[in-house]
Chains A and B, each alone.
Chain A
Amino acid sequence: MTSTGAVVKKPGSTRNTKTGSWRTFKPIIDMDKCIDCENCYLFCPEGCINKEYEIDYDYCKGCGICATECPVKAVKMERE
């Protein structure tokens, strides 16, 4: 084993696993409707929506919390 005691010395290395493949529904943000409230950014379990409201689909599991929590319905869930 290369790592004594199964220590992982590469922080954030779960990025190697693209959990986006789990997704059935894909969130799409309509920036024209967005009021910059940060709800989707704060509540994303993956932390894969940034403050510019770009979604990293490599990791988005499609849970839909962003769509539910958007106060102006700017996020739509579309079937993959």
Chain B
Amino acid sequence: MVLKIATANRAVAEAAKLSNVNVIPVYPITPATSIAEYLAKFVADGEMDAEYVRVESEHSAMSVAIGASSTGARVFTATSSQGLALMHEVLFIAAGMRAPIVMANANRALSAPLSIWNDQQDSISERDSGWIQIYAENAQEALDFVIQSYRITEHPEVLLPAMVCLDGFILTHTVEPVDVPEKEVVSDFVSTYKPANAILDPENPMSIGTFTDPNYYMEARHDMYNAMINSKNIIRNVNKEFGEIFGREYDFVENYRCDDAEIIIVAMGSVCGTVKDVIDEIRREGEKVGLLKLRVFRPFPTDEINAVVKNADKIAVLDKNVSFDIGGALYNEIKAKLDVDAYGFIIGLGGRDVTPEHIRKIVKETKKPEKDVQWIGLREEEI
């Protein structure tokens, strides 16, 4: 292993380089741009033996990805925000065609108004696309999750694409120490891509992307539903194997001081680092607060969440996204799937800082809740 000082963008580019990727169709967009640049340079310098396709849009990036994946190539791409939204149509198709594509998404707010800064509205808005979604807290996780994703997506019982989400700027542009594993070890772990279901090959002609009438469509979607459920076992197994080889293990959720906690904060992504610090402070003051960090959002790990939060009095769910009039997506899903006393907090939209004071306020509000859903961090003065 080599310790590098790297941004999460650099980390995911390194992960793609290590993972025997064949085709990289990518279109630059802030804050994912440097992923495209690193990969271009790896290919230009001969460090990476892959076809780099300089597409003219994100829609085409995902379309090239589907074409290449269907021809038997391992594919990596990266995007963000408006780019992900432009891909919307083809995201559903990639999943429906069961193409095991891996993509990094640098989480960024969606227009309008235009913002290049972080929240998670972009990927959350694609939650029903059939993609596995994994959220990284730091650059190391981003690297590890990309490598793991190839094993998960390409598994014959899964065959759903995976999106590794990294908070824009907070992770994509911040340098941290990252363990970059040896090429040979990763290569052994991911091996080379062998299509488990479909391939465009004149020796064995198949028609991929067919037209279904009402007799067949529903079964195809039901298959995907089952595949998403199946993916839980595969994610668990891949993670275990990854831990044995690389010494880092990740569960669906991370339990941070939850065992005796009266209030548990549930969150995803980089904000978890801030939350952990605040919890340490509050605990020194004698309050029992914990954090459940959700790593995998799709499939939704209901049982794993429940095992951690079931004894808490109250749950505070942090969402860097909003579904208008009903609160954040994670809050709503927790309310729907678990029998807990949960409250929703909309935080950090469009790059608004989430400060330790905000976290303290959330804990305070959760103790004596006045509303189901609150926005935290809004400016108090008129603008």
Chain A residues proximal to chain B, CB less than 8 Å: 1, 4-9, 11
Contact = CB atoms under 8 A, between A and B. Distances in A.
Contact of A7 (B198, B219, B222): B198
Contacts of A9: 204, 206
Nearest to A12: B205
Given A5-B223, A11-B206, 6 more contacts: A4-B98, A5-B197, A5-B220, A6-B216, A7-B198, A9-B206
A7 B159 contact: no
A5 B206 contact: no
A4 B219 CA distance: 10
B37 to A, nearest CB: 33
Contacts of A6: 96, 209-210, 212, 216, 220
A11 B198 contact: no
Interface in B192-215: 197-198, 204-210, 212
Nearest to B197: A4
A55 to B, nearest CB: 26
Contacts of A8: 206-207, 210
A1 B225 CA distance: 12
Interface in B68-99: 96-98
Interface residues of B, number: 19
A4 B227 CA distance: 10
A5 B222 contact: no
20 contacts: A1-B216, A1-B222, A1-B223, A4-B98, A4-B159, A4-B197, A4-B198, A4-B223, A5-B96, A5-B220, A5-B223, A6-B96, A6-B220, A7-B206, A7-B207, A8-B207, A9-B204, A9-B206, A11-B205, A11-B206
B219 A1 contact: yes
Interface string B169-202: 0000000000000000000000000000110000
Contacts of A1: 216, 219-220, 222-223
B226 to A, nearest CB: 10
Contacts of B219: 1
A9 B199 CA distance: 10
Nearest to A11: B205
A7 B204 CA distance: 12
A5 B196 CA distance: 12
B357 to A, nearest CB: 49
Nearest to B222: A1
Nearest to B196: A4
Nearest to B224: A5
A7 B197 contact: yes
A42 B232 CA distance: 54
Nearest to A9: B206
Contacts of B197: 4-5, 7
B160 to A, nearest CB: 10
A2 to B, nearest CB: 9
Kindly name the residue among A5, A7, A8, A9 whose own CB sees the greatest number of chain B CB atoms within 10 A.
Answer: A5
A1 B218 CA distance: 9
Contacts of A7: 197-198, 206-208, 210
A65 B159 CA distance: 45
Contacts of B98: 4-5
A1 to B, nearest CB: 4
Nearest to B156: A4
A5 B97 contact: yes
B207 A5 contact: no
A7 B159 CA distance: 13
A65 B219 CA distance: 40
Contacts of B220: 1, 5-6
